[in-house]
């Protein structure tokens, strides 16, 4: 198991090979998500399904060009994000989408954001500049502190989530990935809530923590998804290898004479 994990960790850095253009992929992701959210504005369920279909196709096209480890991580994250979305929104009411559902474009959208964060965060432009994650953390700090002291409704949920983001930046193994995830998800949250695609509740489900719309540290929540995608990928890979080895060998049928 350790050998598989080490191999996957080595392969993870292949996500930014010369054949891959991380910032071009990130630009495509940002452009489509911005357009998709704008197209969803005021539309019905079938428009959401159409946007979701295009989002899935884009995710498949982009991820097919990446190493197997990145593909496994993206697939793992999409599963985790889907479960989290249905638990946090329809079940707990932490935030509510415009049509009181989980739009079809949200699960693949999570995959696109993660893919862009991994490619940008592991690119030479970021890994060779260790101050970049620190600068992103500084921006996050200003946002979190401002959310606590400026509004009448203090953003305590955002402050708690900010602490987890700070831990990922300062102690995590891939600070560049978490910094890229912060930039992407912060922009997405600000844009989506401004359009009214979703809206955060004023309190967490327990009623203890208050929240802004969006909470200042919400990118820290996305970083937890990234963390678990990275952590679970070796196990998913092992299961896939075992499942493939368990399949019986079937020779190809003979050509008709």
- The DSSP output letter for 217 is T
Pick the most confident of 12-21, 29-38, 217-226. Answer: 29-38
Percent of the residues in the chain that have a pLDDT greater than 70, as a whole number: 88
Checking if the pLDDT of 66 tops 60, the result is yes
Are 242 and 183 a contacting pair, CB within 8 Å?
Answer: no
Per mean pLDDT, which range of 29-38, 106-115, 189-198, 221-230 is the poorest?
Answer: 221-230
Q: Which residue has the higher pLDDT, 104 or 249?
A: 104
The confidence score (pLDDT) of residue 83 equals: 96
The confidence score (pLDDT) of residue 20 equals: 67
Q: Which of 134, 136, 144, 212 is nearest to 181 (CA)?
A: 136
Which of the four pLDDT bands, split at 50, 70 and 90, describes residue 154?
very high
Which of the four pLDDT bands, split at 50, 70 and 90, describes residue 155?
very high
Mean pLDDT computed over every residue of the chain? 88
The confidence score (pLDDT) of residue 246 equals: 63
Q: Which of 194, 170, 169, 198 is nearest to 181 (CA)?
A: 169
Digit-coded pLDDT (tens) for 69-128: 899 999 999 999 999 999 999 999 999 999 999 999 999 999 999 999 999 999 999 999
Which whole-number Å values give the CA distances from 214 to 16, 95, 110, 188, 196, in the listed order? 31, 9, 17, 10, 11
């Amino acid at each position: 198991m350790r050998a598989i994990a080490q191999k996957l960790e080595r392969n993870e850095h292949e996500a930014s090979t010369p054949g891959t253009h991380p910032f071009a992929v990130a630009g495509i992701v940002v452009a489509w998500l911005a357009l998709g959210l704008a197209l969803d504005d005021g539309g019905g369920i079938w428009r959401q399904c159409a946007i979701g279909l295009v989002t899935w196709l884009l995710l498949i096209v982009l991820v097919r060009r990446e190493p197997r480890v990145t593909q496994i991580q993206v697939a793992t994250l999409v599963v985790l994000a889907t479960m989290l979305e249905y638990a946090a929104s329809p079940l707990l009411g932490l935030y509510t989408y415009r049509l009181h559902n989980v739009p079809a474009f949200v699960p693949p959208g999570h995959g696109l954001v993660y893919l862009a964060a991994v490619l940008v965060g592991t690119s030479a432009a970021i890994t060779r500049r260790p101050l970049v994650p620190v600068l992103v953390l500084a921006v996050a700090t200003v946002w979190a502190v401002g959310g606590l002291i400026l509004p009448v409704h203090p953003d305590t949920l955002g402050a708690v989530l900010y602490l987890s983001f700070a831990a990922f930046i300062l102690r995590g193994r891939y600070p560049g990935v978490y910094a890229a995830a912060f930039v992407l998800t912060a922009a997405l949250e600000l844009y989506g809530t401004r359009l009214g695609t979703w809206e955060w509740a004023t309190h967490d489900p327990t009623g203890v923590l208050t929240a802004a719309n969006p909470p200042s540290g919400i990118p820290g929540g996305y970083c937890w998804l990234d963390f678990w995608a990275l952590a679970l990928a070796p196990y998913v890979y092992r299961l896939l290898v075992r499942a493939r080895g368990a399949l019986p060998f079937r020779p190809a049928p003979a050509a008709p004479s």
